[in-house]
Structure 1
Amino acid sequence: MQGPFSTRRGAGLYLLAWLLLAIVFAGLIVAATGAAWTDGLLFTVPVTLLYACATGFSSYYLCRAYPLSERGAISVLLVFAVAAVVASVVWTALCIGWNHACAAIAMSAPLQAAIFGLGVILYALCAVAHYLALESGRARAAERRELEAALMAQDAELRMLRTQIDPHFLFNSLNSISALTSIDPARARDMTLRLADFFRYSLGLEAGRKVTLEAETALAMHFIAIEKVRFGARLNIEQAIDAGALGCLLPPMILQPLVENAVKHGIAHLTGGGTIRIAAQRAGSVLKIVVENDIDDDPPAVGGHGIGLASVRQRLAATYGHEAGIAWTREAHQFRVALSLPFQTTEIDPCAS
């Protein structure tokens, strides 16, 4: 069922509003005619509630048939003026007939005219209320579609991020596994399991569902453990993560591009190796994450941090808007990336109405 009775709650509130109008109408009748309150209510309540049903459905379907965004103002006013007059004439006739049947009040010509005018006003108010409700519904639907589109875009971006995980990482890992199978089968098996766990976890992530910082850090450690087989003692890792920050929720694979950049564009260019440092702490309602790595004093002419950092910035903006940010700095021996985002421990559905 559509219109004012589309839900029980809506129907109840609608009829309650009209019942209050019927009581006010009864008070005016009592004041104008001197009738008893019981006679006034006997006259007004039945006809008002019946008019509420007829007016509600009539004005609702006219509002649907004449949307303000598609029809001219003159045509809309003309249609509703005719509908209000016709409905009010019918209602006035109904009031006269009902009064003859129950003999509740003395129906005079001025009172009939007042009833007619009240009917026109009530019809107009009902039409305005329906227009407001329809426009509000369209606005909510448009907002929901926008949020769903943003979520789909985030999911597509996450899938693209998976495909952008450095192919050399996979090839080098497989080559390392191949080399280890003959000299250290146990390490080859361990690296194979780590590689499988890494891709199994990353492929199971959903853009619309956040993960804890603890899980995100664990994924980064899987990546580093695999790379450490290739780099050996050249690759070191340090962590300084507050226990109170581990439960914070954040977009999945938000650290992955940062750690991958640290390995690919930092440690890989250092003959003597270097250290990646991951720190995180809660500062009130904000989570701060810092990823640092040692770099060459004379870095290659071609930079490679731009795409990964831009991807992280876009994902933070899509998820948190202006509440999150990313900044990076390059010093003589170190590259530093700092993230700040809202501290959340409860998942929030962006499409919830």
Structure 2
Amino acid sequence: MSFTEEFTQALRNQRVLMKHRPDRLRIRLLIYFIWFVFFGLFFATIHGLQNGRLGSGFWWAKELPGHLLVSACVTVCFFFVFRGFERFAPQRWLDAIVRWRDWRAGFFYSMLSIFCSAVGVVIGLAAVDRVWLTQGWNKALSQPGFWGEFLGISAVISVIVGLRYRARWKQEALQARITEAQLRLLQGQIEPHFLFNTLANVQSLIDFDPDRAKLMLERFTDYLRASLGQLRGDSTTLAQEFALLEAYLGLMQLRMGERLRVSLSLPAELAGFELPPLLLQPLVENAIHHGLEPKIGGGEITVSARREGQQLCIDVGDDGQGLDAPKRRGGNGLALDNIRARLTARWGPAAMLELLPREGGGTRSHIKIPLPLLKP
């Protein structure tokens, strides 16, 4: 990753509350340094224009360094307050704030920013008074006009921040719709191949094993009923997703016979949890195609959901060839990227998909989704 890409990603991460920052410390310090210099120069210039001393010797010697010192105190206050909140607040609070898409987010960030600015200004003026011995900070803080100007500037900044967040939410919503459309397109490309293969298998079984052909048609009907219902909506439930997987894996068991063993586990309290449709089937398809089908003896597919604290954890595991085995075809990365994009679009960076080696051999696809509304 280039420096520009790393810096841009760090800027995006600054808008999200997270306990463990993935960005390098030097990049984060550079961002805070840019803020400190920008706001110091901005307010020093405004103040110089108001009193007519912009560019004078007094402005360079006293006003510019003073504003930079106040800006540094405000920046440090922002760093410690926001970072302290991230580190010590419960994870469910952070997840809930990240998911806010209404006035609550603007109110929270505005109030916390005004608090940081007020504390930073008070500390900064005290520091200026101590360095230059002006002894005017008490006088400045006691003037209603000073705080009126401060609140006015804070209100303008809050409105700008609110409009920025609203524009970002609209962009995220648009990106989510684009991602869903891409998934539908991808699913539309995959489904005909799967349908034709299944019908060809039924046709080949009719002559020498009609009972098995009938069973395959029944399971194929169950699969179509489950999948078509999901494709019509923007959300499904875990119970419906597991029903689709059961129908799909039933078809695969008829094709692979005893080479495919299946284990599904869904606690009743998680059955109604809503998630994007067809989120898990691509993971199961990859597990079968890349992990189990190449093995002579086949193997087992396990799909389980559980709650860990304030997170929903979903695992799709197989005891197949593992991550280091050569892939049989391309396209695996596209499906995984699509799932990650859909998770991020709905739940933000707190949701994730990882491919991990399975204990005992094979591969484990691990999904984490925040559950801020569930109480421990």
TM-score normalized by structure 1?
0.53
- Counterpart Cα distance in 1 of 2:240 and 2:336: 21
Give 1:170 shift: 2.6
- Asked if 1:267 corresponds to 2:292, the answer is yes
| 2:364 aligned residue | 336
Change (3 A) 1:294 1:171: farther
**For residues 103-130 of structure 1, what are the alpha-carbon distances to aligned partners after superposition, in whole Å with 9 as ceiling and x for unaligned?**
xxxxxxxxxxxxxxxxxxxxxxxxxxxx
Matched residue of 2:364: which SS? strand
Give 1:155 shift: 2.8
Contact 1:290 1:337 in 2 (8 A): yes
Change (3 A) 1:286 1:208: farther
- Asked if 1:311 corresponds to 2:355, the answer is no
| From 294, 301, 305, the counterpart of 1:276 | 301
Matched residue of 1:266: which SS? helix
Contact 2:298 2:320 in 1 (8 A): no
Change (3 A) 1:151 1:206: farther
Give 1:197 shift: 3.6
**For residues 272-307 of structure 1, what are the alpha-carbon distances to aligned partners after superposition, in whole Å with 9 as ceiling and x for unaligned?**
110001111012321001111121378336565423
**Match of 2:343, as an amino acid?**
L
- Counterpart Cα distance in 2 of 1:294 and 1:327: 17
- Counterpart Cα distance in 2 of 1:190 and 1:269: 25
Identity of aligned residues (%): 35
| Map 1:228-267 → 2, pairs under 5 A | 228-267=253-292
Give 1:193 shift: 3.5
Give 1:162 shift: 1.4
Q: Which moved more, 1:145-154 or 1:220-229?
A: 145-154
Change (3 A) 1:251 1:240: same
- Counterpart Cα distance in 2 of 1:207 and 1:319: 18
- Asked if 1:179 corresponds to 2:211, the answer is no
Give 1:176 shift: 1.4
Give 1:263 shift: 1.1
Give 1:269 shift: 0.6
**Match of 1:328, as an amino acid?**
L
Change (3 A) 1:166 1:263: farther
Matched residue of 2:293: which SS? helix
- Counterpart Cα distance in 1 of 2:261 and 2:240: 20
Change (3 A) 1:240 1:145: closer
**Match of 2:357, as an amino acid?**
R
- Asked if 1:155 corresponds to 2:180, the answer is yes
**Unpaired runs of at least 5, structure 2:** 1-155
Change (3 A) 1:274 1:213: same
**Unpaired runs of at least 5, structure 1:** 1-130, 347-353
Change (3 A) 1:301 1:254: closer
Give 1:265 shift: 0.9
- Asked if 1:193 corresponds to 2:218, the answer is yes
- Counterpart Cα distance in 1 of 2:285 and 2:254: 15
Contact 1:194 1:226 in 2 (8 A): yes
Give 1:317 shift: 1.1
Change (3 A) 1:345 1:255: farther
| 1:324 aligned residue | 351
Change (3 A) 1:302 1:285: same
- Counterpart Cα distance in 1 of 2:268 and 2:280: 18
**Match of 1:274, as an amino acid?**
G
**For residues 48-87 of structure 1, what are the alpha-carbon distances to aligned partners after superposition, in whole Å with 9 as ceiling and x for unaligned?**
xxxxxxxxxxxxxxxxxxxxxxxxxxxxxxxxxxxxxxxx
- Asked if 1:300 corresponds to 2:321, the answer is no
| Map 1:1-353 → 2, pairs under 5 A | 142=167, 145-165=170-190, 168-205=193-230, 209-296=234-321, 299-300=325-326, 304=330, 305-330=332-357, 333-343=361-371
- Counterpart Cα distance in 2 of 1:162 and 1:190: 25
**Match of 2:334, as an amino acid?**
I
- Counterpart Cα distance in 1 of 2:348 and 2:169: 17
Greater Rg by CA: 1
- Counterpart Cα distance in 2 of 1:206 and 1:279: 22
- Counterpart Cα distance in 2 of 1:182 and 1:263: 28
- Counterpart Cα distance in 2 of 1:167 and 1:154: 21
**Match of 2:347, as an amino acid?**
Y
Cα RMSD, aligned residues only: 3.6
